[in-house]
Structure 1
């Protein structure tokens, strides 16, 4: 009973804390609150095949961002590696194109930063992620993206942010990499695995024991049905018009 009362007191203390309010807590309360809250809160994420490609997905993106902060104040970190592996050049023009895709969401272009994992050190990636409200991981070659995520220990850098309410957005490769396993990328054979050395396919597990199969349509039904039993967890299929969304209230497939 005593331990239950302590937990209730701690949770009461936690409930008065707003995100990014700058209020300091003593070290013991902070650690205890964070541990209890992160164990009970679902992470905020939106997994897609084509990013913010339709109004429904865009509205869901805005809704999740608003759970974190005012969209006009939101700091977005863009990770373009998968797209770069597909032949695009990491440049201001590429990032500006992404900024344009956010028009109408309330996100301010000047609040969008980028970090290329392949050309950055782990320390540089960590600095780039500091203060992020949204981490957007682009489409392209999943193997290249996953390899450089592992090389830069991206999961270890990302997990604390997600547990603090930062929103993860995945587009195609970014959605596959967010799963428990990135081996889903081998199923269709669209991505070239030889662009990087082969490593285990452990994913970010953004939403725990779930993996994601983007660009799903009836053509892939038999493939998915034959491959699903080879894994020990759920595989969620996403059509080009759908998104899988998660927040404190639950998880849902939209579209």
Structure 2
């Protein structure tokens, strides 16, 4: 059964994820992929996400796709029951996933019961195509990427960081540009969308 937990800012939905993990009986090991952050100057959100998992008692296997060969990357994905993919540059992330031929494998593992947790870029690649995110992210960070098709695990397209600095303008422009073309799902930094097979629920962190 498809099980997705998608958000803008993982540290901003810590309690939501804690409740989700309890409901799912999640514990132990998480495969933590910070690769999208390689193309960004600021990566504090990645350290914060690590802290959240550690605080909740998870054992982190931090694994950068860009530093790995294809066989090792595929083996890691195949063996994990809980996959987290961080925020950063969505185009760079997709490029590295395609280089290692991981999209099909991730889809297979999701279908087989693996829980997928995506933050910002990690949430955006759950959609069928990431080109709509070109306003928020720099496409030139992925100079080898020519095909923007992604996981296609959702029929909606997450727009992260709505109303949140420093993304207020770029997020709103994305909404204005694509709202008549795509089923956009805007998320603030305190919201998450939980997908259970064909059910979609947006949740908000309690203040």
Asked if these proteins are the same fold (TM beyond 0.5), I'd say yes
Q: Deviations over 1:76-100 (max 9, x none)?
A: 00111111221479xxxx9876432
Alignment of 1:40-189 (within 5 A): 41=1, 43-53=2-12, 57-66=13-22, 68-71=24-27, 74-87=28-41, 98-107=49-58, 111-188=59-136
Give SS of 1:52's match.
Answer: helix
Q: TM-score normalised to the size of structure 2?
A: 0.82
Q: CA RMSD in A?
A: 2.6
Is 1:228 aligned with 2:176?
Answer: no
What SS class does the counterpart of residue 128 from structure 2 fall into? coil
> Does the CA-based 8 Å contact 2:135-2:173 persist in structure 1?
no
Q: Which runs of 5+ in 2 are unaligned?
A: none
Alpha carbons 1:95, 1:114 under 8 Å: kept: no
TM-score norm. by structure 1 comes to 0.68
By relative contact order (CA 8 Å, sep 6+), the higher-ranking structure is: 2
CA deviation after TM superposition for structure 1 residue 130, in Å: 3.3
- Change over 3 Å in CA distance of 1:223–1:129 after alignment to 2: closer
Bigger proportion of residues as helix:
1
Cα distance change, pair 104–149 in 1 and its aligned pair in 2 (3 A) = same
Query: Contact 1:44–1:64 (CA<8 Å) still a contact in 2?
Result: no
Answering whether residue 157 of structure 2 is matched by residue 203 of structure 1, we say no
- Residue equivalent to 1:214: 160
Q: After TM superposition, give the deviation of residue 221 of structure 1 in Å.
A: 4.3
Name 1:253's counterpart in structure 2: 202
How many residue pairs match? The answer is: 197
1:137 positional shift: 0.6
Cα shift readout 1:20-43 (whole Å, capped 9, x = no counterpart) = xxxxxxxxxxxxxxxxxxxxx4x1
- Structure 1 portions without partners, runs of 5+: 1-40
Task: Decide whether the 8 Å contact of 1:184 with 1:213 is kept in 2.
Answer: no
Secondary structure of 2:68 counterpart: coil
Q: Distance in 2 between matches of 1:223 and 1:81?
A: 24
Question: Max radius of gyration: which structure?
Answer: 1
